[in-house]
Amino acid sequence: MRTSGTGSVPEARVKISSGGGFMGSRSAPSRKKQIEMALNSITKQGTSKHQAKQEYRAEARAKGEKVLTAKTKYVHSAKWYKNTLNAAERYIKFADENGFGHKYINSYNHQEAGKVFFKDLLNRGVKDIQGVASALRKFSDAVENRFGGEIRIVPDDLRGMINRARAAGQKIPVGKQERLDSREGYRVYSEEEMTKIMQHVWQQKNGDKYGVAIRGMSELGLREKECAKLQVRDIDFENGLIHVKYGAKGKRDRWVPVTKPYLLELKNICSNKGDKDLVFEVPGRKWENRCKNIWSSFEKACTVNGLGQHRVHNLRATWASKKYYEFREKGMDRDKARVKVSKILGHNRGEVLDWYIDYSKDK
C-alpha cells in the first residue's frame, strides 16, 4: 500500500473503474491525462460561465430533466479551465521533482508536497499566491471527485505562511480574500464625502461631462464600461428602468431601477440626443479611453480631499450599500436583501455583495 498525506490507496490501481478510481493494471495514464480526466469530471465548459450555464440548462430541458442549481457549481469558462490546468500541471511537476510523486495523482503525499510547493512560491516572490491556491483547491476537488481519496494540497496555514514571509521583508501583494476580510477591498463613501468629490469634479476641465458620468455611476451602480457604453435607447423613461446590455460583465444584461429624482435628471441629459447617442458624453474616442478619463477625474477629486482607495468601483460599492440598507429598513431580511441587490448589480450570488457592504451598521 502507498500512503498519501491523508490516507492509503492501493498500489495496483490503474484502469478507471465505473466508480471513478483506478483498477489493477501495470500502466497508468500520463500525469497530464490524469489531471485532465479529473478536471473534466467537474467541468462544464463554455466561452464564458454564463454561456456554459445556458448550455447546461438547455441540455437538461431537452432531456426532460429538472434544472438543478447544484449542477451549476462546477460550470466554468474556458479561461478558468486553462488557468487551473496550468496550476495543476506546475504543482504535479514540482511534486514529482521533489520526491512526493506516485504513478497516480490521488496517491501523492499532497499534504507535504503542498507545504513545500507554496513555500517555494513565497521564496520566489510569486505574485498571485491566492490565485494559485484557489486553482489548486478546485483541482483537489476534481481529483477526489474522479479518482477518490481525500486530497488537501493547500496548507491550512497558508495565510500564516504569507504573513510570516511579509514580516521577513518579502513583498507579497494583498489577495482578494485578505482585502475582503480587512475591509480594504472597497470603500463606501458617506454623503459628505460624495459632496466633496463632486464639488472638485465639477471644477475640473471637462468637469461638466465627468461630473454627469460619475454621478450616473453613483446613482445607478454601474461599472465604468457600462457607464461609457450606455445609450439613450437603453432608458425606459416610462417605467423608470435602465437596460444595461452593452459592457455588462459576462454578457448578462439586466434592468436597473432609477429613482424619480434622478430620472428627471436623465431626461434633461438626454433631451437633445438621439436614441443611439451616448448618455454620458465623456472625452475619448474609444470606450477604454472614456473609462480611463473618468477614473483620472475621480482619482484627482479623491486625492485632493484626502480620500484613500480612490477607485471608481467604490461608487458601485456605495450604491450597493445604500440600496441594501434601504431594503433592510423596509423589513426585508438580510439574505433576501443581499440577493436582490446582487441581481440588480448583475451578480448571480448574494455573497458577492460582501465585497461591497460594511455590515457593521446592520441590526
State mean pLDDT over 284-310: 87
- Run of H or E including 216: helix 207-220
Beta bridge partners of 254: 244
In a domain, 283, yes or no: yes
Tell me the per-residue pLDDT of 83-134, one tens digit each, with 9 for 90 and over. Answer: 999 999 999 999 999 999 998 999 999 999 999 999 999 888 777 788 899 8
In a domain, 55, yes or no: yes
State mean pLDDT over 172-201: 77
CB 247 within 8 A of CB 287: yes
Asked if residue 240 has pLDDT above 80, the reply is: yes
Same domain, 157 and 274: no
Q: What are phi and psi of 277, to 5 degrees?
A: -75, 155
Rounded to the nearest 10°, the torsion over CA 142, 144, 148, 149 is: 150
**Better-predicted residue by pLDDT, 356 or 328:** 328
Q: CB within 8 A of 14, min separation 6: which ones?
A: 22, 23, 24, 25, 26, 27, 28, 103, 104
Same domain, 214 and 264: yes
Grid cell 479551465 — which residue? 81
Same domain, 237 and 117: no
Nearest to 112 by CA among 5, 1, 2, 3: 5
Asked if residue 2 has pLDDT above 60, the reply is: no
Same domain, 135 and 267: no
Alpha-carbon distance of 153 to 50, in angstroms, equals: 29
Domain boundaries, position 210: 191-361
Using 50, 70 and 90 to split pLDDT, how confident is the model at 6?
very low
In a domain, 53, yes or no: yes
32 Cα distance to chain centroid: 27
In a domain, 1, yes or no: no
State mean pLDDT over 50-65: 77
Same domain, 232 and 165: no
In a domain, 183, yes or no: no
* Structural domains of the chain, count: 2
In a domain, 24, yes or no: no
pTM to 2 decimals? Answer: 0.56
Nearest to 129 by CA among 158, 90, 97: 158
Q: Return mean pLDDT, the chain.
A: 83
Alpha-carbon distance of 86 to 108, in angstroms, equals: 18
Same domain, 105 and 225: no
Using 50, 70 and 90 to split pLDDT, how confident is the model at 181?
low
Alpha-carbon distance of 269 to 44, in angstroms, equals: 44
From residue 15, give the alpha-carbon distance in Å to each of 7, 168, 288.
20, 47, 52
Asked if residue 237 has pLDDT above 70, the reply is: yes
Ranges 73-82, 223-232, 338-347: which has the least confidence: 73-82
The helix, strand and coil proportions of the chain, stated in percent and rounded to the nearest 5, come to: 55, 5, 35
In a domain, 269, yes or no: yes
